[in-house]
Structure 1
Amino acid sequence: MIDLIKALADPCRLRLVGALLRAELTVQELTQILGMGQSRISRHLKILTEAGVLSVKRQGTWSYYRAGEENAFFCAIRPEFERELEKLPERNDDLAAVALALEARRRRSLEFFDRHAAQWDVLSRTLLPVPHYLDRLLGLIPPVDTLLEIGVGTGALLPELCLRAAKVIGVDHSPAMLEEARRRISSDGNHNAELRLGEMTHLPLADGGAGCVIANMVLHHAADPLTVLGEIHRVLKPGGALVLADLARHEREWAREQLADQWLGFDEDELKGWIAGAGFGSVEIERVGAGVGQEAVLLVKAIKAGIRKPGARD
């Protein structure tokens, strides 16, 4: 308790914790948000991490900081602590700066995919090979009326998805990607597919509008994965399923620049904790092992907690 109180007894460290309660951020992003030098920010982060207030996740040469759960006393006082943070004079400016940092991540991703849409399928397969997993992923999809795919990309999965649901909605934030997907469904005659422009963090779908959401190799491109998972939970019906495939944790640092990856894959326990924290009542994860020169893949099926009326369809 004494170590915690000492760690928090500094205006700069209070602002740092306040920012990291909203998102996972790098040292570079935090220097911009607080308008301070890197050495000063790093020193304060070290104090907070040693006290168990923050935790750090290292991915390649980047380190992401977030509010931790190692200090039991901090966890106990956290609700009241967060309310008091709103009284800091810099609070509104700090929150606005956090939003700008996340927007900068999103903008870099959008510009990349608009630029490489036509070559994306070949580019992704060539630069970062993965084992064959699509048959197993598709096998996780339950029978539903409405299926939503986020990060639809060039629409490579749409023909298969259209065989599994009466209505398929594909969402992507890149107009160029959607144009490629539109060409695909037009040539394949998938008349039950509808494409919509939208962000993963603000899906263009009403609450409970889908019986299943599929996210294939999408989450590692998200600026804020926790917000994305919460938004998926919102658009699912009670009892609806999240079906997800993504990269297991790896160390190919170049993927940030060459493939616009925000995250170098995910640890199984971390991903399971995030999904459960978003409100899903059942989470199952299967690891598809990697061959030579490949990266392993995590397959996830999670069910939104809730009770459906007897006989109701998705």
Structure 2
Amino acid sequence: MDDLVVQLKALAEPTRLRIASLLARGELTVSELVQVLGQSQPRVSRHLKLLTDAHLVERLPEGAYVFYRLVAGGPGHRLAGVIGELAPPDDPVLKRDLDRLDAVKAARAAAAEAYFKRAAEDWDRIRALHLSEDEVEAAMRDAAGSGPFDLMIDVGVGTGRILEVFADRVGEGIGVDVNHAMLNVARLNLERAGLTEASVRKADVSALPFDDHVADLVTVHQVLHYLDDPAIAIAECARVLKPGGVLLIADFAPHQLEFLKTEHAHRRLGFSDEEITDWVESAGLELRRRASLHPEKPETHLTVKIWAARRVSPRISRSPVRIKASSV
């Protein structure tokens, strides 16, 4: 009862009601809220602190940026969400807020699309080297199983596509990446897809910001070949899996396309079944399924491999793993 009183008091102020209404429509930074509300940054930050202390709003650091959103679950989420829905749309102050919010989101979308356009040429060239994404995604869904999965973590979220692929089987999806510009691309795509239960945050695969044994599904799609030490990434993904949870990896089989190293920053030219099996078993998982998607021209194109492993016990690792810095 005391917590509810604190939350009601936190919302019983016009600016904080406006903030709750805005955050009910998606994540925003302090600077974006300043633009919408027309108030100083210190004042907006003070209101956000009160809402955060009342467990109505949560703070998500992202490098030099900090995003705020309504808490992901519990009474605070329901209360703040209801307040956002009850806000009268014909109120002139709220209407002005929403008009400004549209302008802020349009500017964010323009920046995200500009970044995506710069990167898309490289991605298109790599995609042309293997089977269609539709075939890869269908194989990933098949390997993961039907779920349902309460919590999915997508490591190296990229455009957010894998969160979309599994949205019908997932209660909550969280994508992580180290690239702020890429996270904004994913935010834009998830918002356009109407996936309100999916979100993204900045994080390194070597230090995921989650407790042990919380995720039902962890996906790692075309990420391992960028890493200095893929074993570390797999061990960290295994750490956050629940007993019975699934780790799903999609990457390339061993190949000889050296230009991917020199021109596209690939650290590894694919992975064998043996090394993936060794890494997942060292992380306390059991490899359950693997699939190979072969191209029509194996001499010049890439075979995509899919591996699905399951945590069969709460154990983290059967042997120590050397830890060093790596990034998504």
**Cα contact 1:121–1:154 (8 A) shared by 2:** no
Q: 1:120 to 1:179 in 2, by over 3 A?
A: same
Q: TM-score, normalised by structure 2?
A: 0.56
Residue 166 of structure 1 deviates from its aligned partner by: 0.8
- The question of 1:295 aligning with 2:302 is answered yes
Match of 1:196 among 201, 206, 209: 201
Tell me the residue number matched to 1:140.
143
Q: 1:182 to 1:288 in 2, by over 3 A?
A: same
Q: For 1:285 and 1:202, locate their aligned partners in 2 and report how far apart those are by CA, in whole Å.
A: 26
Q: Residue 193 of structure 1 aligns to which amino acid in structure 2?
A: A
Tell me the residue number matched to 1:305.
312
Q: For 1:162 and 1:302, locate their aligned partners in 2 and report how far apart those are by CA, in whole Å.
A: 20
The SS at the match of 2:274 is: helix
**Cα contact 2:280–2:287 (8 A) shared by 1:** no
Tell me the residue number matched to 2:189.
184
The SS at the match of 1:159 is: helix
Tell me the residue number matched to 1:125.
124
The more displaced of 290-299 and 212-221 is 290-299
Q: 1:209 to 1:287 in 2, by over 3 A?
A: same
**Overall identity of the aligned pairs, in %:** 28
Q: Residue 301 of structure 1 aligns to which amino acid in structure 2?
A: A
Residue 276 of structure 1 deviates from its aligned partner by: 1.2
Q: Residue 133 of structure 1 aligns to which amino acid in structure 2?
A: V
**Cα contact 1:124–1:259 (8 A) shared by 2:** no
The more displaced of 249-258 and 164-173 is 249-258
The SS at the match of 1:295 is: coil
Unaligned stretches of 5+ in structure 2?
A: 1-113, 315-328
Residue 258 of structure 1 deviates from its aligned partner by: 2.1
**Cα contact 2:244–2:312 (8 A) shared by 1:** yes
Q: Residue 130 of structure 1 aligns to which amino acid in structure 2?
A: H
Tell me the residue number matched to 1:168.
173
**Cα contact 2:167–2:195 (8 A) shared by 1:** yes
- The question of 1:159 aligning with 2:158 is answered no
**Cα contact 2:216–2:246 (8 A) shared by 1:** yes
**Cα contact 2:246–2:310 (8 A) shared by 1:** yes
The SS at the match of 2:254 is: coil
Residue 283 of structure 1 deviates from its aligned partner by: 3.7
Unaligned stretches of 5+ in structure 1?
A: 1-114, 308-314
**Cα contact 1:200–1:231 (8 A) shared by 2:** yes
**Cα contact 2:277–2:287 (8 A) shared by 1:** no
The SS at the match of 1:249 is: coil
Residue 201 of structure 1 deviates from its aligned partner by: 0.8
The SS at the match of 1:232 is: helix
Q: TM-score, normalised by structure 1?
A: 0.58
Q: Residue 122 of structure 2 aligns to which amino acid in structure 1?
A: L
Residue 121 of structure 1 deviates from its aligned partner by: 4.5
Residue 157 of structure 1 deviates from its aligned partner by: 2.3
Residue 163 of structure 1 deviates from its aligned partner by: 1.6
